[in-house]
Structure 1
Amino acid sequence: MKSIKELMDLTGRTALVTGGAGHIGQAFCDTLAEAGANVAVLDVDSDRVEDTAVRVAEEWSVETMGLTLDLADEKAVVAAPGKVAEALGSLDILVNCAAFVGTSKLTGWVVPFEEQSVDTWRAALETNLTAPFALIQAATPLLRRSGHGSVVNIGSTYGVVGPDMSLYDDTKMGNPAAYGASKGGLIQLTRWLSTVLAPEVRVNSICPGGVARGQDPKFIKRYEAKTPMGRMATEEDMKGALLFLASDLSAYVTGQNLLVDGGWTAW
């Protein structure tokens, strides 16, 4: 029987993290690298991609590479897994962390439902749902070959439950339908793929709760009051969940959605 240390060891494996230069994405890159994996950092900002790849390589003494691309670019998305395997030797773990979250300045996004834009809806689904589908499909032959193939999709509590719009009163924040619908679709894609790609590839998802990142103090106070743990999440709160699902710690786990939300959805 393997030890816990052996089960969590990712030495010799390669991970691709989309949104890898973002807040949670960087925490995930560090987690995988600390466990011994080589890491490909994929994001849309070339400077942040390269900075993250260099930092992770230096800090954890693993091989890394940066991939700068827009997840709306289908040809680039489909080509990414092959580039990673060619550069780093394999592809064993795929983490779909990138997300279209929009901004309050985006037309038809943080507005009442009646004003939400179909074009913005499509853009959100393209990044949050279509791109993971295409990327997993392109990566499947490599993941099957791995012997340890694991896909971890990053959803959201709002892919599981509806929003309480009173949280956003008197703030510039909001909760568009496209975000929740795309994340809900990603969770169901996870379940669908888990049965289709088994037994060679495991597919699971993580749904983070709200992560503290300098939001309006009124929102934070309301959110914390509705959370059993009494606080918003941090990026560090997500690291253990990712390592569990990416490694052999969860070798007999597939098709599951792990809510890391401080109890938000338990009420």
Structure 2
Amino acid sequence: MDLTGRVALVTGGAGYIGRTFCETLAEAGANVVVLDIDPERVDEVAGYIADRFGVSTLGLAVDLAVQDDVLAVPGRVEEALGGMDILVNCAGFVGTSKLPGWGCGFEEQSVDTWRLVAEVNLTAPFELIQASTDLLRRSGHGTVINIGSIYGVSGPDMSLYEGTSMGNDAAYAATKGGLLQLTRWLSTVLAPEVRVNSICPGGVFRNQDPKFVKRYEKNTPLGRMGTEEDMKGALLFLASDLSAYVTGQNIMVDGGWTAW
């Protein structure tokens, strides 16, 4: 699991799971690029990781919906840290994102929001992987890890959300499903120099409505919602040489949710 000297880029790196990923990679010795949309949060996370783990960091405030900014990222990473070995596509719109026509019934879901979600959740990873391919190939350890979702592989049980302010959107599910297929496609196209895999988290506990939590846990074989800590092992496995002969695979980290 030793990642000493390698460079890892995490999109959504200032978010809940993304920050945990940044810390996990740094703890294993990697130099870390924290990419997110909020400059203050990016700088805070990058500074914290550098101070705590003694690695080099780079904070990049980037709107993944802006193509030119996305395409400029690999060059900025190479200039600052010399290359790229690990690319983690973790950023994306989720259930708590405040968008018009989001978190509502299917009939009210907005086409404009669908397009924006597709741009960030699916198009941006395609653009960033494509722009980073040369650096990843030159690495000798190039690996891409895309973060999907249980709803990229299964349909929603809408009864979980009854009587709550929560929802489950078509655009989220469709883009996460697309990201998983992009993972499989790229795993053969970028081989043998670059490995491409994915992780699908289940529901992560963040003080959701107790009615939702109770229903969700009842439907989960391990009897609880996930935490950010639960994702660390799968990340380190796919980021390191422990998975040197693994590509095109998707690891479900969902407490057995999709095993029923």
> Sequence identity of aligned pairs in percent?
75
Q: Which residue identity does 2:248 align to in structure 1?
A: G
Aligned 8 A contact 1:71 1:131 in 2: yes
CA distance in 2, matches of 1:111, 1:63: 42
Give structure 1 stretches of 5+ with no counterpart.
1-7
Q: In the alignment, which residue of structure 2 is the partner of 1:157?
A: 150
Query: Structure 1-normalised TM-score?
Result: 0.96
Q: In the alignment, which residue of structure 2 is the partner of 1:14?
A: 7
Q: In the alignment, which residue of structure 1 is the partner of 2:41?
A: 48
Alignment root-mean-square deviation, CA = 0.9
| Cα deviation code 1:30-66 (max 9, x no counterpart) | 1100110000000001111000000001111100010
Pick from 135, 140, 144 the counterpart of residue 147 of structure 1.
Answer: 140
Q: How much does 1:78 deviate?
A: 0.6
1:185 corresponds to 2:161: no
1:170 corresponds to 2:163: yes
CA distance in 1, matches of 2:47, 2:10: 15
Q: In the alignment, which residue of structure 1 is the partner of 2:32?
A: 39
Q: How much does 1:103 deviate?
A: 3.9
Pick from 103, 119, 132 the counterpart of residue 125 of structure 2.
Answer: 132
Q: Which residue identity does 2:3 align to in structure 1?
A: L
Give structure 2 stretches of 5+ with no counterpart.
none
Q: Which residue identity does 1:188 align to in structure 2?
A: Q
The ranges of structure 1 where at least 4 consecutive aligned residues each deviate by more than 6 angstroms after the TM superposition are none
CA distance in 2, matches of 1:105, 1:86: 35
Query: Structure 2-normalised TM-score?
Result: 0.99
Q: How much does 1:85 deviate?
A: 1.3
Q: In the alignment, which residue of structure 1 is the partner of 2:93?
A: 100
| Cα deviation code 1:203-247 (max 9, x no counterpart) | 000000000001001000000000000000000000010000011
Question: CA 1:80–1:104 in 2, change beyond 3 Å: closer, same or farther?
Answer: closer
1:47-86 → structure 2 map (5 Å cutoff): 47-86=40-79
Q: How much does 1:82 deviate?
A: 1.3
1:221 corresponds to 2:218: no
CA distance in 1, matches of 2:44, 2:59: 9
CA distance in 2, matches of 1:211, 1:46: 25
Q: Which residue identity does 1:138 align to in structure 2?
A: A
Q: In the alignment, which residue of structure 1 is the partner of 2:240?
A: 247
Q: Which residue identity does 2:105 align to in structure 1?
A: P
Q: Which residue identity does 1:82 align to in structure 2?
A: G
CA distance in 1, matches of 2:68, 2:57: 22
CA distance in 2, matches of 1:120, 1:152: 25
Q: How much does 1:104 deviate?
A: 7.1
Aligned length: 260
